[in-house]
Amino acid sequence: MERPETPDWVRDAVFYQIFPDRFARSLSVPKSGNLESWGSPPTYNGYQGGDLVGVAEHLDYLQELGVNAIYFTPVFQSASNHRYHTHDYEKVDPMLGGDAALRRLIDAAHDRGMRVVLDGVFNHASRGFFQFHDILENGPDSAYVDWFKVSGFPVNAYHLDVAPNYEAWWNLPALPKFNIQNPEVREYLLGVAVKWVEFGIDGWRLDVANEIEDDEFWREFRRRVRRANPEAYIVGEVWTDAQHWLQGDMWDAVMNYHFTRACLAFFARGEVDLPELQRTSLFPIPEPGAPAFAAAIERLHGLYAPEITGSMLNLLGSHDMARFLTLAREDVSALRLATLFQMTYPGAPSIYYGDEIGMKGGHDPANRGAFPWHDHDAWDRDLLHDFQRLTALRRARPSLRRGSFRVLQAEGDVFAHARKLGDEAVLVAFNAGTEPKRIDLAVHDQVADGVELADPWSHQAVRVEDGHVRGLELPPRSGKVLATSLGG
């Protein structure tokens, strides 16, 4: 079988996920007067007025953070603040600044070498989607009656005490599910996918993509998207194992929630906000401790072809879960350690907007708060500095983006791994416990005897002797990086 082909740029990417209504609001984009105040407690239905021009105006901040790719939750016209209820797939929401704002953002991002990935909601539309609205108006005489799977008339789309008489996502009447077997529907959705790639986006994140149970649709999706841009990134939302879609003929990767689950268990030591965790598909998490973490990570690392593993979207947070800090009971050290692992593991790291400054929040809508641009007292500056150091480390070290991965040690609360590419090697050791540790770390075949390794920040050096780094000191709740000199 041929090796999967995935976009090479993804290996160099550090993603930043943005929920557009809550990241940044530009004064240049006209808005309705009935908006919630910026930074007020987020609600299910209210808008705070973020837009794409606001993002473009803050690209300096993202570059300083070390971000070079942005994934946006949906941006198309919708009657919801999250925009997963799509009204018009061919128009950027006017509240976000319309098509012109997306054009400005893409051009500004590309000028800086940054990529832009959009969210494709192709499983379902909304009651306001024109073709479904036509069914509401015209019943069985609608020209689009076969675009959805309707079982009776009149269509019951608004009486919440009665189940909808059409297929809907999770039986929610606001989200009628497309009849993907209809050739007109397929052509429409494939045309949407190609249109925005030709407009200039660099890929698609596919919402609940496993629920479109039609492999040939995804194969054709890949063929057409790649014809429009051979380097377009296609990443599905699947919370479980995803080998079925990751054979090289459908998607490039998935949002790596297995990675999230393992990191939460180890770095938070299992001390999590259980009620919040139980509201997500992350529950249950693995047992705490390094052996369980190593087992989970080694299984995950071996689950897919190396080309797929190197393209996975490795996240610690998203709009669909309580923020990592909240799940970890506000233990900032857990987020620091997990981010160090995230930035030194194969695949593309993804930062959920605001995690880098210590934003907190439970399940939707609390996890979708407004970024506090004008309240710097709310920023954890030390945490932000750590994120910047770690993205810079990843950028400086080819082995962290393209090198091999090997677990070196997993005992008690101590875990260590190595990344290696040619003569360059990076060793990373963690002490997730609350007591200091002093270890002799076996480097196996990753570094030869006599080679000097140094901390990239303090520049303190050690030498490999008899296949070990001897007497490595690991303070409580800490991580240590040791690397060969740049260039070998």
Task: List, by residue number, the catalytic residues.
Answer: 207, 237
**β 313-315/15-18 pair status:** unpaired
Q: How many CA atoms lie within 13 A of 75 on its CB side?
A: 32
The strand pair at 478-483 and 424-431 is best described as antiparallel
CB of 296 closer than 8 Å to CB of 262: yes
Strand segments (E) across 377-486: 404-411, 414-421, 424-431, 437-442, 452-454, 461-463, 468-474, 478-483
Q: Is 418 within 8 Å of 425 (Cβ atoms)?
A: yes
Q: Say if residue 42 is preceded by a cis peptide, omega within 30 of 0.
A: no
| H-run or E-run covering 134 | helix 130-138
Q: Which two tokens stand for residue 156?
A: 């019951």
Residue 163: beta bridge partners? none
Q: Which two tokens stand for residue 244?
A: 């079925």
> d(Cα 284, Cα 85) in Å, to the nearest integer?
29
Of 224, 292, 243, nearest to 264 (Cα)? 292
Distance separating alpha carbons of residues 27 and 8, to the nearest angstrom: 37
Identify the DSSP state of 149: -
Both tokens of 421, joined, read 């590419």
Could you tell me the CA-to-CA distances from 71 to 322, 423, 436 in Å, in that order? 18, 34, 39
